[in-house]
């Protein structure tokens, strides 16, 4: 289970790609990643997009993506072929296939998905779902692109906290525009000092 996020210095993950991507709760800073795009960040993103994966998405992110990605197969063919597992209490089917919808008992369902054979599960956006995954120790890796901005408000990566856990850095770089690209892999229990 790999959580992949564009994140601000103050932990906001809401609406990184477009002004009107997710204006919920009055968020007015959509599209905040664009001033920091460069060839290095694009190369990392293309590398992640080229991997074999299935997706685990919350309903809001699924709705945003279902309106966009089916019409952009030339940009990211893998997203259309990937199985999209969607945590939703309200949506049970969609024309963007293959998609599997489930509601309630999300942590148990995701724990079961992790045991099934198949490619890695990638989680993008889906801030509320990520809170559940972190609270139930279901995240194996965090692949973050930390942007040099503060947004003050918005949906946050660690809004409700997470269980105490240790992670190790397996890759890191800083782009020419100051974006920290870092991969954290789960590394056991939290260790503390005396």
CATH of the domain at 121: 3.40.430.10
pLDDT digits (tens, 9 = 90+) for 48-90: 999 999 999 999 999 999 999 999 989 998 999 999 999 999 9
- Any idea what DSSP says for residue 62? H
Exposure string of 4-39, with b = 16+ CB inside 10 Å and e = fewer, is bbbbbeebbbbbbeeeebbeeeebebbebbeebeee
Asked whether residue 191 is assigned to any structural domain, the reply reads no
Asked whether residue 16 is assigned to any structural domain, the reply reads yes
- Residue 18, pLDDT score: 93
Asked whether residue 94 is assigned to any structural domain, the reply reads yes
Asked whether residue 193 is assigned to any structural domain, the reply reads no
Asked whether residue 57 is assigned to any structural domain, the reply reads yes
The torsion angles phi and psi of 193, rounded to 5 degrees, stand at -80, 180
Mean pLDDT taken over the chain: 95
Are the beta carbons of 89 and 132 closer than 8 angstroms?
Answer: no
Q: Which domain holds residue 150?
A: 2-186
| Segments of the chain with pLDDT less than 50 | none
For the chain, the domain total comes to 1
């Amino acid at each position: 289970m790999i959580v992949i996020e564009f994140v601000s210095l103050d932990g906001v993950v809401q609406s990184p790609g477009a002004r009107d991507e997710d204006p919920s709760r009055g968020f007015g800073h959509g599209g905040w990643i664009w001033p920091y795009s460069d060839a290095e960040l694009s190369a990392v993103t293309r590398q992640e997009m080229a991997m074999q994966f299935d997706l685990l998405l919350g309903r809001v992110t699924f709705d945003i993506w279902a309106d966009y990605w089916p019409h952009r197969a030339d940009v990211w063919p893998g997203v259309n072929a990937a199985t999209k597992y969607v945590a939703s209490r309200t949506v049970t089917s969609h024309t963007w296939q293959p998609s599997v919808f489930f509601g309630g008992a999300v942590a148990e369902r995701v724990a079961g998905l992790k045991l099934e054979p198949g490619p890695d599960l990638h989680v993008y956006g889906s801030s509320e779902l990520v809170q559940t995954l972190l609270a139930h120790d279901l995240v194996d890796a965090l692949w973050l692109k930390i942007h040099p901005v503060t947004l003050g408000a918005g949906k946050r990566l660690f809004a409700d906290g997470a269980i105490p856990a240790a992670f190790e850095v397996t890759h890191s770089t800083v782009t020419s525009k100051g974006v920290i690209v870092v991969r954290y892999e789960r590394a056991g229990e939290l260790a503390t000092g005396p």
